[in-house]
Structure 1
Amino acid sequence: APARSGARGLGRRPLRGGRMPTYDLDGVPVEFPYEAYDCQLAYMKAVIRALDGGHNALLESPTGTGKTLCLLCAALAWRRQRESRAAAQRASWEAQVDGDAPAQQLGACPRIWYSSRTHSQLKQVIHELKRTSYRPASVVLGSREHFCIHASVSRHSGAKQNALCKRARDENRCPFYVGLRKQGAKVKTSCCDIEEIVAACKESSVCPFYKCREEAKEAELLLIPYDYLINPQTRDSLQVSLKNGILIFDEGHNIEKSCESVASFEMRAADLAGAIGEINDAFDVLQNDACSCEEALGEMTADQLMTHLNILKKSLLALEDSLFTERLERDSDTQRMMLKRPGSHILEVFGRGSSRGDGILPKDYKRIATVVRKAVAVLTFEMESATSGGLYLDKLQSLLATTFRAEAGELDKCYQVLLYEDSAEEAKRGAKRKATDFFSEPSTATAREDLPRTLCLWCFSCSVAMRELQEREVHSVIITSGTLSPLDGTAEAFGVPFPVVLENSHVIDGRRQLWGGVLTAGPDNVSLDGSFSQRNEPAYIRDLGLSISAMASHVPDGLLLAFHSYAMKENMLRQWRQSGLLEEISGKKPVFEEPKGHMEMQAVLERYNGALKEKSGRGAILAAVCRGKLCEGIDFTDRQCRMVVMIGIPYPARNDLRVAAKQSFLDCRGTDGDGRRWYSREAIRAVNQTLGRVIRHKHDFGAVLLCDSRYAQKDRLSGLASGISQWLRPQVSVFPSFDGALAGCRGFFSRMAGVPLVTPAAAVQRQGQPQAAAMAAPATGQPSSQVEAVATGHARAAASLGLAAAVAAATGPGTAGGGGTPLSALSAFWSRAGVRKRPPPGGGEKVQVAVAPATKAVKAVGSSTRAPAAPPAAPGRSPATPQAVGATPGPAVSSATGARTTKEGPPPKRAAAPVSAYGMPDPAAWLKAAEALLPRMEHERVQEQMAIVREQAELVLSGVAAADKKLIAALKAVAEMLLPAFCFDSPEDERRRQALVRDCGMLLPKLLRPLWRTEVTELLKTRGDPCKIW
């Protein structure tokens, strides 16, 4: 269908028999795998607006809003349109010029560089890409450490691995590199993650590393960790131009720190000693076995390399002397002996010679780089016996590249030199330098009694890396994350313009699904001030523990307790353990601590999740640390995190040398207070990242509690707390008393306890509507006008299946109860949580009375036998009411006329199945099975559409004619999501998917099950696929 203007769903475009919504966003048709939420449309429009204008964009959108999918669809749709226009221009130009005229490059189409922090995050990007209709030529780029499959080379890393790889290739000792030339074309990298690429290459005996480098030359979409893009040396090694490229930094809340890190270095005494030691090792090899090193030397002779190594060693010894000529002073903040100077002072440190050698100048860098490369090749020549990998020499080359890349003016503007004296413990941990020397005089480092010194060149402006990217003439830079706030300070720090800025809303209804509070005082009315001077006060520690204990009683499932540092966590838990408070808290919810080591992390999470599954239903508490793995890297969904409690304010550690230096640097270079603003921005960004754990998808709900009075200013949020993410900020209230906060928290979770898990938002929206049971037709023996409308609509829907007779039987005057309808069973199945399992007197009973004949009529049609008549009612009683499937006979209840009604006999026995409060097979169990198979977005959409089925069924009962069509449309949407057009299932996954489709029908009342089966059959028929599900 032709695209219509505006951000509305367009005519659905056929896709291999499937159907995919298409949206016209600023003139660009964007195909999206689902019906897009408003916040997703806003996000994609911002991406397209940036690409149209060649602008940079800073986009914040909360976790769970589908940022990755939106980025891919918007960027690839824009590129597809740009490519089509370029092709049309070329065709038009070729038609107008002489065929002998030279070709002209028209409308070059930008390549997309999609970067994220880790390869595991890129794997999720590939997973999302497979769900779209876009199939660009794509490839994942990484280091040899990730790709190498050579038995010997893969055991090493860094410079040593690179040198061993080169030698294996030069000597044709790598079968996979040889296989690349022979069978490389057979391996496809598009839409494959790094594990899939390695597996495919291994199967075909092809080198994955060089296969991906080869594919990168022509790829339209390149996926890469973002350190590879912002590190100049790594970026240059890719040998792929960034010109006119679209650079996307996903999960970009760490990009500022990464930009500063790659432009900085630290050189310890151990590093300098290690580099000199490796020069000694290379010299020994050249002296003893020069003949066998000819291949590693290339055009250079052994004597020439030894001469250059001597010069380099003299320079390093002179650098050592230069460091010790600097006079250090005791710093009042850190109490360490140190020297702080502007960035350009590094040139003086390196250039200053001594009696033992000349200094290192910028003009010497290329020569040193060549010498280092040759030395590393010599050290790694013997593949199996090589022990020294040239790691220190390689590090030396990198720090020299960082030093000489910038001009003196930029060094002063963006960098700071710090030279400090190591502590006695740090000196003991340092590696000892070899005492052997080429020269007669011993090294003064071995004779010195001074403590070792560390030289730092720290970049304190991420603008250095960003400007380098802009100088590559890129088309646009897009930085996105769920936690970029506060955006004004973030945009300013990057030092390049960001004309497009978006602070997006969430897909949830925050007023219904989120509760937030600032707790300024505990139960004993002690001010919860976690500042440095107050955090160790016994009264503060006790009242904080009492607050957690009280909250734990009212929070269901998992509670994430976030401390601002490991030290604070350990101190608090120790104090609570000694006072008995920890035992009191653990009595309500068991407490699990975040370990410092990565090896123990998985075990802790398994125990935590195991506690959440216990039948006691107590839940559990996870004590974590801001900026740690649990608060930034782990995805907590639904019951894993119903509440986040933030203890204190996670300011960067003041005793950290780099933190103190940056704060001082910003105060000196900018306006007064710039350092304090950066310090506060780092804290609130960590808060946002931690609080974001609580909501992970559209149907999630949870609470956040900020336990520190510094988040409040009287009865409002403080200036610091005003930096909380926009989607969360309006829901956070300040509670001057503990009782008010506890009451608010308890009320929120009590209300949410009455909402079905499948769709909290939908259930809340129905508040104020009459109960479905009350909508049943009166038992007059004749159908009401409401029920007639319902029955007529569904008779039409079922007519194609030959069920019209069954519908008529269910709604005719002969039906017991007189007012029955095929959909009346839904009022029991989809009734709001909190309603009793048995229908209430005066209406609910009539609905169930009507179910039995309808169900039996369908069964009779299917078996060509007459449906048995409903059992007659006893005198003075209403007709017999069968129990819901799986329920046990209950006590007598009152009928509409007030008479007592007894259940006459148990229901027929059926196979055991999980039973919900609705008396049907448990929808939660089915949703859990669906979650294991479907991507998160599809799973959310399934929940949403099943909610629509519930809502429309109740509206049908109330006589809304349009609800009939909406109900069928919702069933159709569920079928499309359970059976996507593009599917990469294994045989086992295919069997699970088919079982999921069959079981979905079993969640419906019997009369609607054929309708579900028809929708599934028709869907597969339109795609030309046979239906093998039933």
Structure 2
Amino acid sequence: MPPPPPPRQDFPAFPFATYPIQTEFMSFLYSALSSGPRALALLESPTGTGKTLSIICSALQWLLDHRDAASLGHPERANGSAPAAVGGEDDEPDWMRDFTLQPLPPKKDIRKKSETHPSRRHGTKKVGGSEKSEGIRENDDEEEFLLDEYESDDGEGTGRQAGKRAHCGGASSSSSSSSESEDDEDEEEATPKVYFTSRTHSQVSQFVGELKRTNFSGKLRTVCLGSRKSLCINTDVQKLGSATRINERCLELLKNKKSSKIKLRAVLSHLEAYLNRFQNVLGAGNRRYIQTLTVLTRSFLRCLISNEDCSSAVTSMTINKFLFSLDIDNINIVKLCQYLKESNIVHKVSGYANKLFITENGVCNLNHGQQHGEGSSITSFQALTDLLRSLLYCNDDGRIIVARHKPGGQPEDAYIKFVMLCAEKTFSEVTDDAHVVIMAGGTLQPIEETRLRLFPGLLPSDIKFFSCNHIVPPESILPIAVTCGPSGKKFDFSHSSRSSLNMIEELGRFLCNIVTIVPEGIVMFFSSYEYEKQVYDAWMASGTISKISKKKHVFREPRSSVDVEVILNKYKEAIQSCSKGSGDTSVNGALLLAVVGGKISEGINFSDGMGRCVLMVGLPYPSPDDIELMETIKHIGNYSTSSVIGDDKPFNGNDECKLEPGFDVLRKSGKSGREYYENLCMKAVNQSIGRAIRHVNDYAAMLLVDSRYAHTS
């Protein structure tokens, strides 16, 4: 068996002359990919050093080398990876299913979606062990909503669908489908594959743009996966804003239907209507599971009703407490989730609910339906399914967050959400199956925190780590901790002091001085949209904005992602027009007010004149009122309280997590929990100020406006 190819030192696909740190970065990544399987590497390189292009040229060069080795008669490498398919014309129908780099299964058949078998429409249909009832026979159009008989193995908690489902594509195990398989096409899946993932869609878009600059774009197939919220091209849908509303609207448009958001109450009504109509012809297994779903849905609805005796509308519970409080701990959630996976219950119930609405209101009134759009119903059913699956985790793996509906509040304010606390369990699904996992970023340190959170089972020596300095010389960067304002007032933008009108006015005077001496573009980051609005409104009232406008055009980061590109283009055009000397000669650039963790702080380049100065106002600590974050910090910091129990302790009715104020949680948390909270802040600072330095000839000033930046801790 031939050894793996040696690490490359040359990467011809890189479209520019490489800097030494870029060559080192690519060579290290190539070596890490060659050292699999189950290898793990962390590569840290500052923002603006060309990480994206380096990752592309190194990873895809390894991929081509790997496939070339397979085409030369070496189908397997020493690391055990599978042969790679040569050529690029085969379809990949499984790309949405697989998130791993894995070998080809033997004799894998991928078939085209076929039409419903004629036997579904002709002959006698047996459901639940008996022939169709007279009622179904009189309404043949309702037959499509019937579930096939479901048999559950009580001892093992598994089930099987007895018979062929009506609307499922794929191969059938019955002999009657043998004649159809002659026309099916077998497709070979190309392996290995490289998956590039990122936290923001702007970085994914940047990745695609950088890929097009290399010659790999003509050699390898690429598909960009993302949410409808970020990639939908329908402007009317994008205006909806909410990710849930956008998802539902897309589903509705695909079916040429319109409807409003489906609530949990509507899901319950759909289940009840379906069970009432078909309970006499459904098998015992289907009836039992649909009844169980109905009971669970009623319990979840009851949980969302406000309790007048409860001092807080938001509650955090362990999984056990949640089940016990709703009296559903005796329900086998494992078997129920198996049923949801194997049966076609979601589509059957949603389809029947949609038919009922059309029958009662007519097709012409379908656009005005409030609760019976099939696409919205499916989305709500999927949310219910996800919640049920989360209940399968161990008791201490996560928390159930329940926000109850209060009188006078909005219905959408009530929700049930599962928060995963054990990141290593989720991440292990990737590391266990992938050939190699590469984590690259500008702020990966402290490495020990990353290791303990994501892969605590690995020793530090098992992790390959690469780090390098910036390509920009030190004299091109001017970092300054600004501790006080022009009048000598100490800058303190902590949570208790930042809303002071005197503090905001002092910040305004400082900014008025900065805009007169810094040319071109200035980006000013605030800790939140709310604080940015508070400062902007105060400056508008005091006349500070009008003073700044005499030197800089002022722009604000929009909350909607749809408007971000428009604002950025206007910001860029304003700077370019000033540089060319056109327009008002007294105006020397533009000011952009942005938010840490918003649309602009990650993945956006403010190179050259777009960002000659970056101002960071305060330390952007996450809000201590974020209950999900506080639960995570409790978990990381081994924050223990007698009100939280584990699976190994008997239930005593007190394992509802006490919602203490966030600052109290931080004070009582262990050292690792506090460090995690502080690291979130400093990583956000690094991400934001790194937007301004994007290439070797770039330069900028970074002004950290808060007296706490002058302290060592």
Q: Work out whether the TM-score is over 0.5.
A: yes
Question: In the TM superposition, what whole-angstrom CA distance separates every residue of 1:105-133 from its partner, at most 9, and x where no partner exists?
Answer: 9xx96322233456664454344334434
Corresponding residue number in structure 1 for 2:419: 458
Tell me the CA shift for residue 685 of structure 1: 1.6
Tell me the CA shift for residue 44 of structure 1: 0.7
C-alpha distance 538-308 of structure 1, shift in aligned 2 (>3 A): closer
Structure 1 unmatched ranges of 5 or more: 1-23, 94-103, 169-268, 291-299, 331-335, 431-451, 720-1030
Question: In the TM superposition, what whole-angstrom CA distance separates every residue of 1:627-675 from its partner, at most 9, and x where no partner exists?
Answer: 1122225332311111000001111112233233333343345871333
* Helix, strand or coil at the partner of 1:659: helix
Aligned match of 1:374 in 326, 330, 348? 348
Tell me if the contact between 1:514 and 1:701 (Cα under 8 Å) persists in the aligned partners. Answer: yes
Aligned match of 2:374 in 360, 385, 389? 389
Tell me the CA shift for residue 161 of structure 1: 7.1
C-alpha separation between the residues in 2 aligned to 1:91 and 1:362?
Answer: 40
Tell me the CA shift for residue 562 of structure 1: 0.9
Q: How does 1:936-1015 map to 2 (within 5 A)?
A: none
Corresponding residue number in structure 1 for 2:593: 623
Question: In the TM superposition, what whole-angstrom CA distance separates every residue of 1:199-257 from its partner, at most 9, and x where no partner exists?
Answer: xxxxxxxxxxxxxxxxxxxxxxxxxxxxxxxxxxxxxxxxxxxxxxxxxxxxxxxxxxx
Tell me if the contact between 1:352 and 1:359 (Cα under 8 Å) persists in the aligned partners. Answer: yes
Tell me the CA shift for residue 347 of structure 1: 4.2
Question: In the TM superposition, what whole-angstrom CA distance separates every residue of 1:674-724 from its partner, at most 9, and x where no partner exists?
Answer: 3322221211121111101111222221111000011112xxxx23xxxxx
C-alpha separation between the residues in 1 aligned to 2:509 and 2:233?
Answer: 55
Corresponding residue number in structure 1 for 2:154: none
TM-score (norm 1): 0.46
Aligned match of 2:464 in 472, 496, 500? 500
C-alpha separation between the residues in 2 aligned to 1:323 and 1:393?
Answer: 21
Corresponding residue number in structure 1 for 2:662: none
Tell me if the contact between 1:86 and 1:109 (Cα under 8 Å) persists in the aligned partners. Answer: no
* Helix, strand or coil at the partner of 1:604: helix
Corresponding residue number in structure 1 for 2:522: 559
Corresponding residue number in structure 2 for 1:185: none
Q: Does residue 1:643 correspond to 2:626, yes or no?
A: no
Aligned match of 2:264 in 272, 284, 293? 272
C-alpha separation between the residues in 2 aligned to 1:471 and 1:402?
Answer: 24
Corresponding residue number in structure 1 for 2:136: none
Corresponding residue number in structure 2 for 1:260: none
Tell me the CA shift for residue 162 of structure 1: 7.2
C-alpha distance 351-576 of structure 1, shift in aligned 2 (>3 A): same
C-alpha separation between the residues in 2 aligned to 1:270 and 1:470?
Answer: 37
* Helix, strand or coil at the partner of 1:524: coil
C-alpha separation between the residues in 1 aligned to 2:680 and 2:541?
Answer: 33
Corresponding residue number in structure 2 for 1:815: none
Q: Does residue 1:482 correspond to 2:442, yes or no?
A: yes
Q: Does residue 1:584 correspond to 2:568, yes or no?
A: no
Question: In the TM superposition, what whole-angstrom CA distance separates every residue of 1:277-301 from its partner, at most 9, and x where no partner exists?
Answer: 33356568879xx9xxxxxxxxx86
Question: In the TM superposition, what whole-angstrom CA distance separates every residue of 1:350-374 from its partner, at most 9, and x where no partner exists?
Answer: 6627xxxx85632222224532232
- Return the index of the structure with the highest Cα Rg: 1
Aligned match of 2:630 in 660, 669, 689? 660
C-alpha distance 139-602 of structure 1, shift in aligned 2 (>3 A): closer
C-alpha separation between the residues in 1 aligned to 2:407 and 2:706?
Answer: 38
C-alpha separation between the residues in 2 aligned to 1:157 and 1:580?
Answer: 39
Tell me if the contact between 2:262 and 2:380 (Cα under 8 Å) persists in the aligned partners. Answer: no
C-alpha separation between the residues in 2 aligned to 1:708 and 1:149?
Answer: 41
- The aligned amino acid for 1:114 is F
C-alpha distance 147-664 of structure 1, shift in aligned 2 (>3 A): closer
Tell me if the contact between 2:621 and 2:680 (Cα under 8 Å) persists in the aligned partners. Answer: yes
- The aligned amino acid for 2:419 is W
C-alpha distance 699-76 of structure 1, shift in aligned 2 (>3 A): same
Corresponding residue number in structure 2 for 1:868: none
Corresponding residue number in structure 2 for 1:419: 402
C-alpha separation between the residues in 2 aligned to 1:144 and 1:92?
Answer: 36
Tell me if the contact between 1:642 and 1:702 (Cα under 8 Å) persists in the aligned partners. Answer: yes
Q: How does 1:395-414 map to 2 (within 5 A)?
A: 395-401=380-386, 403-404=388-389, 410-412=394-396, 414=397
**Structure with the larger helix share:** 1
C-alpha distance 572-420 of structure 1, shift in aligned 2 (>3 A): same
Corresponding residue number in structure 1 for 2:430: 469
C-alpha distance 42-328 of structure 1, shift in aligned 2 (>3 A): farther
Tell me the CA shift for residue 349 of structure 1: 5.0
Q: Does residue 1:634 correspond to 2:634, yes or no?
A: no
Corresponding residue number in structure 2 for 1:99: none
Structure 2 unmatched ranges of 5 or more: 78-104, 107-189, 235-239, 641-668
* Helix, strand or coil at the partner of 2:637: helix
C-alpha separation between the residues in 1 aligned to 2:309 and 2:302?
Answer: 14
Aligned match of 1:686 in 684, 687, 693? 684
- The aligned amino acid for 1:701 is Y
C-alpha separation between the residues in 2 aligned to 1:149 and 1:639?
Answer: 30
Q: How does 1:172-191 map to 2 (within 5 A)?
A: none
Question: In the TM superposition, what whole-angstrom CA distance separates every residue of 1:433-456 from its partner, at most 9, and x where no partner exists?
Answer: xxxxxxxxxxxxxxxxxxx96433
Q: How does 1:423-438 map to 2 (within 5 A)?
A: 423-426=406-409, 428-430=410-412
Aligned positions, number: 532
Corresponding residue number in structure 2 for 1:44: 26
Q: Does residue 1:79 correspond to 2:52, yes or no?
A: no
Corresponding residue number in structure 2 for 1:30: 11
Tell me the CA shift for residue 459 of structure 1: 1.0
Task: Name the % identity.
Answer: 26
C-alpha distance 115-492 of structure 1, shift in aligned 2 (>3 A): same
C-alpha separation between the residues in 2 aligned to 1:313 and 1:91?
Answer: 52
C-alpha separation between the residues in 1 aligned to 2:423 and 2:390?
Answer: 15
Tell me if the contact between 2:306 and 2:406 (Cα under 8 Å) persists in the aligned partners. Answer: no
Tell me the CA shift for residue 626 of structure 1: 1.1
Tell me if the contact between 2:337 and 2:388 (Cα under 8 Å) persists in the aligned partners. Answer: no
Tell me the CA shift for residue 310 of structure 1: 4.8
Tell me the CA shift for residue 28 of structure 1: 6.0
C-alpha distance 580-64 of structure 1, shift in aligned 2 (>3 A): same
* Helix, strand or coil at the partner of 1:632: coil
Q: Does residue 1:364 correspond to 2:346, yes or no?
A: no
C-alpha distance 562-454 of structure 1, shift in aligned 2 (>3 A): same
- The aligned amino acid for 2:504 is I
C-alpha separation between the residues in 2 aligned to 1:699 and 1:92?
Answer: 45
Aligned match of 2:699 in 683, 698, 701? 701
C-alpha separation between the residues in 2 aligned to 1:690 and 1:680?
Answer: 16
